[in-house]
Structure 1
């Protein structure tokens, strides 16, 4: 009898042990399941952010090129439910809304400048929110409210548009690994950059073209790029001189006509952050400014920058093509073999799987005036 009791006790112990192991395994399985439903990334401010994998609703606050980057990255804008007015104005008047008309359904009323209406944001029910890395106050506000908030920087890489694009795509590829385009974008963009460097590297310093970026322009204001903004990088990247290099300022800075005459640039590139066209410079139609004595005007070397998926002065998916376009416009003899329309089709087709017609590609280099407005109101 004692022996039978001992056997029974051993069997009971074995059952309890197996039950405990089974429960533990179930708990571990549950943890693995939970881990498999999220992805963790480090954003451009160095914050570790955990986001659910099945992201269906995206809001972009004050980092304006990102909606266009996301749309091309996904080859769809269906996930973008909110973005700022400057992003919408560019989308509405560019190829972006033709390729992805659903982007026009995104809400814009939740943000005014850099201020987010948290109640309006909550109504959008976002799975992830992107914001400008410089707006740390907004980042804290979003995080404190429980949102998966990811900081995106436009200047972390010293306004190097190629490096900025590559790092944006790398972050998105970590966040959405099923859409990974990191290597394709990096390989293409760096090949374009290296090709341009090979062709312009031998230009003597004294023969480098002097370029002026007309960033913003109105009847009362002219602003350009100092030595710490995209204009400086673009000029250096194409083997030219940014005439505003002497201005030690971050982002854009205001200048007057007296200063521009002193610089006397060979080329003027008008960004899409204003509505001016070359004819406005040639004919002095804005305010009381007189450009007629500037070399670029005399030589008819005033150009409007392209507008593909977004305003190309900043980093964005159009960056490699913008670099080629600027180089060819400034040094046509060095890039006479480059068919910019064909290169545009090649880039979007090979890297993103997007087929553009000749007409669509050409339209990138003839942007609409309305795209220069920063609001759709």
Structure 2
């Protein structure tokens, strides 16, 4: 090999090294980024068109928080027209009338419609769905949000920061989340296990409890009565189970659930009912169960469970900070009350 060939090869090697960064490899204007299941996904240098599948409200909420709602090219299912998702529509208004690839979460995706939208990538929380649709030619990207929360939450934000080339945005969110977790856990860590109140988070209409809330109940210093029963993201319970749990606090998904529980004579024996500790989960971009508003949910729950420990935490002030910082929205006091009331149908 002559000196000219050696120099050419050195230049080529240097070029490859300069265009390879961690989990992303730039080649011919594309990058290969590893999703949260360990699958390599090829993406353009700039991601401009995405489809959200399955847990649409949660994924859209996260993209709103990242300031990337304008990249969503798929429409939201009709279910999300209720007041509990006011900001899901307000912060991403174009998704109301855009083409839907599925009519409801879990209803099945129309592959032909999805292909016609010519997206760069499709986001999903369902690993099996990602594998199945990838085999049908769709560029799927698996995300994990609450399976191992809060670590998954931070990892997901960092991953989207990589996808969209905005790592600083992800870091701002993660730092906020960490600071609020630390503030709460520092004050409840000394509470003995046998003195922690029992908490149930549920949709009383469907008699389901939600695994997505499990992490913030525990971080807030409560005991999730459904914790040992989760085999999937939801757990269906019956009246006998509810009475056996006898929760000290019940946080309900639907605003109508609060009166339903208080007005049902069967539940007068529950501690939560006797002590008037049935509360509606706030709802802005969506119910604070699983959306990007979970830092707010953590503080809200901690203040409900231990009001004397968190007198200095002002939820309306935290809400103003959150929505202005991550949604570029100065929330009026009237809407704060609306959100804390859980929205209306």
Q: Partners of 2:305 and 2:164 in 1: how far apart?
A: 38
Residue of structure 2 in register with 1:80 after alignment: 72
Q: Deviations over 1:243-294 (max 9, x none)?
A: 22343533322222222222211110112xx56331221123xxxx832221
Q: Would you say the 8 A contact 1:94–1:367 is kept in 2?
A: no
The match for 2:262 among 279, 282, 287 is: 282
**Quick one: structure 1 residues 367 and 270, their matched pair in 2 at CA, closer, same or farther if it must change by over 3 Å?**
same
Q: Would you say the 8 A contact 1:73–1:179 is kept in 2?
A: no
Displacement after TM superposition at 1:101 (Å): 2.1
1:350-369 superposed matches below 5 A = 350=325, 353-369=328-344
Q: Partners of 1:275 and 1:51 in 2: how far apart?
A: 41
Residue of structure 1 in register with 2:191 after alignment: 203
Q: Partners of 1:308 and 1:201 in 2: how far apart?
A: 29
Question: Could you say which structure has the larger radius of gyration?
Answer: 1
Residue of structure 1 in register with 2:135 after alignment: 144
Q: Partners of 1:249 and 1:190 in 2: how far apart?
A: 28
Q: Deviations over 1:87-122 (max 9, x none)?
A: 744688322322332231333244552521111112
SS of equivalent to 1:367: coil
Q: Does residue 301 of structure 2 align to residue 326 of structure 1?
A: yes
Displacement after TM superposition at 1:341 (Å): 0.5
SS of equivalent to 2:155: helix
Q: Deviations over 1:188-241 (max 9, x none)?
A: 101100110111112222221111112x333xx52225xxx2343222111111
Q: Would you say the 8 A contact 2:77–2:100 is kept in 1?
A: yes
Counting matched residue pairs gives 328
Q: Partners of 1:114 and 1:132 in 2: how far apart?
A: 15
Q: Does residue 60 of structure 2 align to residue 43 of structure 1?
A: no
Residue of structure 1 in register with 2:207 after alignment: 222
**Quick one: structure 1 residues 40 and 353, their matched pair in 2 at CA, closer, same or farther if it must change by over 3 Å?**
farther
Q: Would you say the 8 A contact 1:57–1:128 is kept in 2?
A: yes
Deviates further, 356-365 or 295-304 = 356-365
Displacement after TM superposition at 1:153 (Å): 2.0
Q: Does residue 47 of structure 2 align to residue 62 of structure 1?
A: no
TM-score scaled to structure 1, two decimals?
Answer: 0.77
Residue of structure 2 in register with 1:127 after alignment: 120
Q: Partners of 1:368 and 1:198 in 2: how far apart?
A: 32
Residue of structure 2 in register with 1:336 after alignment: 311
Residue of structure 2 in register with 1:153 after alignment: 144
TM-score scaled to structure 2, two decimals?
Answer: 0.84
Residue of structure 2 in register with 1:14 after alignment: none
Q: How large is the RMSD of aligned CA atoms in angstroms?
A: 3.0
Displacement after TM superposition at 1:352 (Å): 5.5
Unaligned 5+ segments in structure 1 are 1-16, 371-377
Residue of structure 2 in register with 1:306 after alignment: 282
Q: Does residue 154 of structure 2 align to residue 171 of structure 1?
A: no
Q: Partners of 1:232 and 1:140 in 2: how far apart?
A: 27
Q: Would you say the 8 A contact 1:110–1:120 is kept in 2?
A: no
Unaligned 5+ segments in structure 2 are 20-25
Q: Would you say the 8 A contact 1:278–1:304 is kept in 2?
A: yes
Residue of structure 2 in register with 1:213 after alignment: 201
Q: Partners of 2:83 and 2:34 in 1: how far apart?
A: 28
Q: Does residue 238 of structure 2 align to residue 262 of structure 1?
A: no
